[in-house]
Chains A and B, each alone.
Chain A
């Protein structure tokens, strides 16, 4: 129903701080599936605070839908913070390892050159293959993957997007309490 309000969809990055307890990742992911939202990527990892895990989720949606899922996520007891990060005030990165077929010298040289242009690293070499590791934003990794596919990608492992805010602001600024009481124009 929300879709009818705003047909314009774009990628949103949600950052969640959750208690590190069994099942918490599936609890969060389930909320998205039950609403019929597709998760583009999801990354979970430890934080500087013991017992707390940070989950970064990228979804394709409109503003209403993102606000609604944010409110729903906040209702989960193990979820402590949910923040919508925008591209301008946050840094977003992903990491990929790409195994490319490179059986002759010319191919190897070209792959290495390509890796250099993208400031990627060669992390494994064999007679038939090269494995390239790249770290960067989505457009950079996608561009390299596209170029390397000409050589034949044997396999690839890639993380989802990780995001962190620029400057002094952090996920710890935003407690459930503050956002719920924060009525600038709308509770959302």
Chain B
């Protein structure tokens, strides 16, 4: 058995069902070994960065590490943004890169880069395999590290001669034993008791839930605690779809681009319970102010997050699902939050019922998203890009019991379409929607080929305002001197682009026609592109 065959066999042992890749010379042995295993699906993306994003979308919907495999040199460097995007969102991913022959390493030969060195700052761990006999252990460890504790991307770099090398024998390890890696699972009992007491004493408690709740698969526990103790919930962008929009305890998304109601709740709470969130700058603009004003509990699997952005009075380190269960096992604490809830509910209602502005000849994104959300399946997956489209979607798309996938941490434009490819591959039965702008769509529209090749039924909603909207908006106020370098001149006619890929499209400029167009768009079989004409001066605070 060769190293390449051992690699594929190891992936099979890890129950890998799909790989997103881009072949090249130094990864050829592994790709060749893959050919003998049709039970592992393969998607050829159209640039390596998107292999990372597709693996990320796959991981977030399947709950298993996403796998991507590309070649050395430019293949590996193109993948870097995909890896960094996954790292900032703590997405479990195993990235495999080919490498030049090990005996030529360091000589700057054709398509050689030090990729393990390059990704070190934003990968959870990386391996450069120098002996094929190490491959089973390395793959086992990589999947373990990627998917346990705080998940994240792990890179395995395999020189081509190691892929070709013969193994003495193949034995897949049953267990992992990494001395320096023992993530905490259970929360400390003493701290749990302090948390329960603090909740019971609070009058205006607030849960702030982040992406960590999804990563730990703890949505059910979170809802049980919130409902049992009647604690309103705000979410970060990464935790957005944890509660349906119409849930009585859902107070929206916090942050600079968040809902008014959520930020009011954050300002007025007397106890903040942060669950699986690092409270980064976009979510919590002034952490010291929060610290000064209220007691804080911070539940997170990563001990390095405690005190990084915010000093919590009661830190609690461990798996979010396990910890929430430990709290619930003591019986959900009783709070006196009725008056608090009523106050917030009024804010929330006013915000949900607000009227959107209207401009003749254009559609307002909030109006489209509100109508779109109402029409989606209960468990629909919505992949949203970065820019104004992201802010509008997070603020105004009604959530049910589906998922909203976006690049929350790194803010990578062009994430949505490839992530949707991964999500749809993971669960072809779930309705999958892409929301993007005309800027971000042009960063990823080459993946329409992967969409077509995979026969993936994606619905793409494109807000076209002919500019990089969010930057346009930022440039519109001091200290800047007005929009520059953001007009998307020379953009193609997206209907023609869609047609070239054999994808039907619709364009809407009139809000009166929206209902009919959305019905038609969603009901049509197969892929579809809906272009929504948005005025360039529309801002996210309109």
Measured between beta carbons, the chain B residues less than 8 angstroms from A18 are: 180
Complex contact A177–B180 (CB within 8 A): no
Interface pair B188/A188, CB less than 8 Å apart: no
> Which B residues between 153 and 192 are near A, CB-CB below 8 angstroms?
178-182, 184, 188, 190-191
* Complex: A175 Cα to B181 Cα, angstroms: 10
From residue B358, how far is it (CB to closest CB) to chain A in Å? 42
**What number of B residues sit within 8 Å (CB to CB) of A?**
28
In the complex, what residue of chain A is closest to B300 when comparing beta carbons?
A: A187
Q: Counting CB contacts under 8 A, is A103 at the interface?
A: no
Within 8 A of B (CB), among A50-82: 64, 67-68, 71-72, 74-80
Bound complex: CA of A71 vs CA of B307, how far in Å? 10
Whether B181 lies near A188 (C-beta < 8 A) is: no
Q: Is residue B3 contacting chain A, with contact meaning CB distance below 8 A? A: no
B120–A74 touching, CB < 8 Å: no
B137 within 8 A of A: no
Q: Which residues of A contact B191 (CB under 8 A)?
A: 183
Tell me, yes or no, whether B121 is within 8 Å of chain A by CB. Answer: yes
Asked if B451 lies at the interface with its beta carbon under 8 angstroms from chain A, I say no
B145 at interface, CB cutoff 8 A: yes
Q: Out of A34, A64, A183, which one reaches B188, CB within 8 Å?
A: A183
Contact of B308 among A23, A26, A68, A76 (CB under 8 A): A68
A15 and B212 CA atoms in complex are apart in Å by 31
Distance between Cα atoms of A80 and B304 in the complex (Å)? 15
CB within 8 Å for A19 and B179 given contacts A71-B303, A180-B184:
yes
Please determine whether A67 and B307 come into contact, CB atoms closer than 8 angstroms: yes
Tell me whether A146 is interfacial, beta carbon within 8 Å.
no
Q: When chains A and B are docked, how far (Å) is the Cα of A68 from the Cα of B307?
A: 7
Query: Which B residues are CB-close (under 8 A) to A4?
Result: 288
With a CB–CB cut-off of 8 A, which chain A residues contact B180?
A: 18-19, 76-80, 176
Tell me whether B307 and A188 are in contact (CB under 8 A).
Answer: yes
Are B315 and A186 within 8 A (Cβ)? yes
The yes or no answer to A140 lying at the interface (CB within 8 A) is no
B270 at the interface (CB under 8 A from A): no
The chain B residue with its CB closest to the CB of A80 is: B180
Cα–Cα, bound, A32→B80 (Å)? 22
Q: Are B190 and A183 in contact (CB under 8 A)?
A: yes
- In the assembled complex, the CB of B289 is this many whole angstroms from the nearest CB of chain A, namely 13
**Smallest CB-CB separation from A70: which chain B residue?**
B304
Total contacting residues, chain A, CB less than 8 A: 32
Question: A30-B120, A34-B121 in contact; A187/B306 too (CB < 8 A)?
Answer: yes
Q: A26 CA to B116 CA in the complex, in Å? A: 12
Q: Identify the closest chain B residue to A4 (Cβ).
A: B288
Measured CA separation A35–B302 after assembly (Å): 18
Tell me whether A27 is interfacial, beta carbon within 8 Å. yes
CB–CB B303/A77 < 8 A? no
Contact residue among A5, A19, A72 (Cβ-Cβ distance under 8 Å from B304): A72
With A177-B182, A180-B317 as given contacts, are A74 and B303 in contact (CB-CB < 8 Å)? yes
A146 to chain B, nearest CB (A): 39
The complex places the Cα of A94 from the Cα of B310 at a distance, in Å, of: 37
Chain A residues with CB below 8 A from B490, complex form: none
Residue of A nearest to B302 (CB): A75
**Smallest beta-carbon distance A76→chain B, Å:** 7
Q: Report B-chain residues with C-beta under 8 Å of the C-beta of A72.
A: 304
Which of B124, B178, B303 has the most C-beta atoms of chain A within 10 angstroms of its own C-beta?
A: B303
Asked if B117 is at the interface of the complex by the 8 Å CB criterion, the answer is yes
Closest CB in chain A relative to B301 CB, distance in Å: 10
Q: Is B46 an interface residue (CB 8 A)?
A: no
CB-based contact A180/B303 at 8 Å:
yes
By a CB distance below 8 angstroms, the chain A residues around B317 are 180, 187
Q: How far is the CA of A64 from the CA of B311 in the complex (A)?
A: 10
| B125 CB-CB contact with A under 8 Å | yes
Q: Which residues of B contact A177 (CB under 8 A)?
A: 182
Q: B-contacting residues of A (Cβ < 8 Å)?
A: 1, 4-5, 18-19, 22-23, 26-27, 30, 34, 64, 67-68, 71-72, 74-80, 175-177, 180-181, 183, 186-188
Extra inter-chain contacts (12) besides given A27-B120, A76-B180, CB under 8 Å = A5-B311, A64-B307, A64-B311, A68-B307, A71-B306, A77-B125, A77-B180, A78-B180, A187-B303, A187-B307, A187-B317, A188-B306
The 4 closest A-B pairs by CB, nearest first: A71-B304, A80-B180, A187-B315, A77-B125
Q: Which B residues are closer than 8 A to A by beta carbons?
A: 116-117, 120-121, 124-125, 128, 145, 178-182, 184, 188, 190-191, 288, 302-304, 306-309, 311, 315, 317
CB-defined A-B contacts under 8 Å, sample of 14: A18-B180, A23-B117, A30-B120, A71-B306, A71-B307, A72-B304, A74-B303, A77-B181, A79-B180, A180-B182, A183-B190, A187-B317, A188-B307, A188-B315
